[in-house]
Amino acid sequence: MRDVLIAPSILSADFARLGEEVEAVLSAGADVIHFDVMDNHYVPNLTVGPLVCHALRNHGIEAPIDVHLMVRPVDRLVHDFANAGATYISFHPEATEHVDRTIGLIRELGCKPGIALNPATSLQCLDYTLEKIDLVLVMSVNPGFGGQAFLTSSLDKLSKIRTRIDALARGGDETIRLEVDGGVKPENIRRIAAAGADMFVAGSAIFNADDYALTIAELRNQIAAADG
Ligand code: DX5
Ligand code: ZN
């Protein structure tokens, strides 16, 4: 079975108790914290910035932080998030002037670069970039809000990207992660895993549940069932 990562999105956490919420999902079995950054410009919503990422590190959070930049422009914030302790930094290619330069900048600053694809973005932007990144983030909703319904068109996109990643045959620590983001729930995660995702963002499905550990276990069981 593919090794998989569960990444709760803090977008649906109780922001007044963010440190505790992040600790709670990690002790409930999450692997990575998905950190949604929205700028009220590239997307019609406004969330949190590098100060909050830094605050989580100061609070003692050691798990990888997966920063998803839904901002335009991108590069200046890359510096700020690298300094704030980000592990992965993903960006939307249409939001930056020079995609290759942004990838290089993220890498240079010691973080893992990722490219985020909106539902209507084609795979062409992975030409000449896939081999340089550590993560492809497939948006299965339009970016901007938590709690939206999963768009099934992303299943086909995931399997096409899985084929391309496997063709590069980068293994071990060099693996390129295939992340799905938006509307992921215990009821649909099995099909999503079967399409080839190996990193699963879930915001409302986890943070709106009464029992985080039970929900994360259910997500993992469903993923395991996709293999059988
Ligand atoms: C949407 C964000 C997602 C989203 C996930 O713009 O990138 O991370 O909040 O939330 P759910 O799982 O509730 O769709
Ligand atoms: Zn996200």
Which CATH number is 183's domain given? 3.20.20.70
**Angle CA 136–191–28, to nearest 5:** 75
For residue 223, pLDDT over 80 is answered with yes
Predicted local confidence at residue 151, as pLDDT: 98
For residue 202, pLDDT over 80 is answered with yes
Ligand nearest to the CA of 202: 1
For residue 220, pLDDT over 70 is answered with yes
For residue 39, pLDDT over 80 is answered with yes
Residue 176 gets which letter from DSSP? P
Number of domains in the chain: 1
Q: Distance, CA 33 to ligand 1 centroid (Å)?
A: 12
Q: Which amino acid is at 181?
A: D
For residue 162, pLDDT over 90 is answered with yes
Q: How far apart are CA 54 and CA 85, in angstroms?
A: 6
Is the shortest distance between the CB of 66 and ligand 1 below 6 Å? Answer: no
For residue 103, pLDDT over 90 is answered with yes
Predicted local confidence at residue 63, as pLDDT: 98
**DSSP calls for 95-109:** GSS-HHHHHHHHHHT
Q: Distance, CA 93 to ligand 1 centroid (Å)?
A: 18
In this predicted model, what pLDDT tens digit does every residue of 119-156 receive, in sequence order? 999 999 999 999 999 999 999 999 999 999 999 999 99
Q: What is the dihedral of CA 76, 78, 83, 84, to 10 degrees?
A: 110
Q: Which of 140, 141, 180, 189 to mutate to test the pocket of ligand 1 (most atoms within 8 A of CB)?
A: 141
What is the domain range of residue 218?
Answer: 5-227
Q: Distance, CA 157 to ligand 1 centroid (Å)?
A: 18
pTM across the whole model:
0.98
On average, the pLDDT of the chain sits at: 97
Residue 72, burial from CB neighbour count under 10 angstroms (0-12, 13-18, 19+): middle
For residues 190-194, average pLDDT: 98
Q: Who wins on pLDDT, 172 or 61?
A: 61
Predicted local confidence at residue 172, as pLDDT: 75
Quick one: pLDDT band at residue 174, thresholds 50, 70, 90? confident
Q: What are phi and psi of 147, to 5 degrees?
A: 75, 15
The answer to whether the CB of 88 falls within 8 A of the CB of 61 is: no
Q: Which amino acid is at 63?
A: A
User: b vs e for 93-120, b when ≥16 Cβ sit within 10 Å of the residue's Cβ?
Assistant: bebbeebeebbebbeeeebbbbbbbbee
Is the shortest distance between the CB of 9 and ligand 1 below 6 Å? Answer: yes
For residue 227, pLDDT over 90 is answered with no
pLDDT > 70 in the chain, percent = 99
Q: Which residues contact 62 (CB under 8 A, 6 or more apart)?
A: none
Predicted local confidence at residue 192, as pLDDT: 98
Predicted local confidence at residue 228, as pLDDT: 67
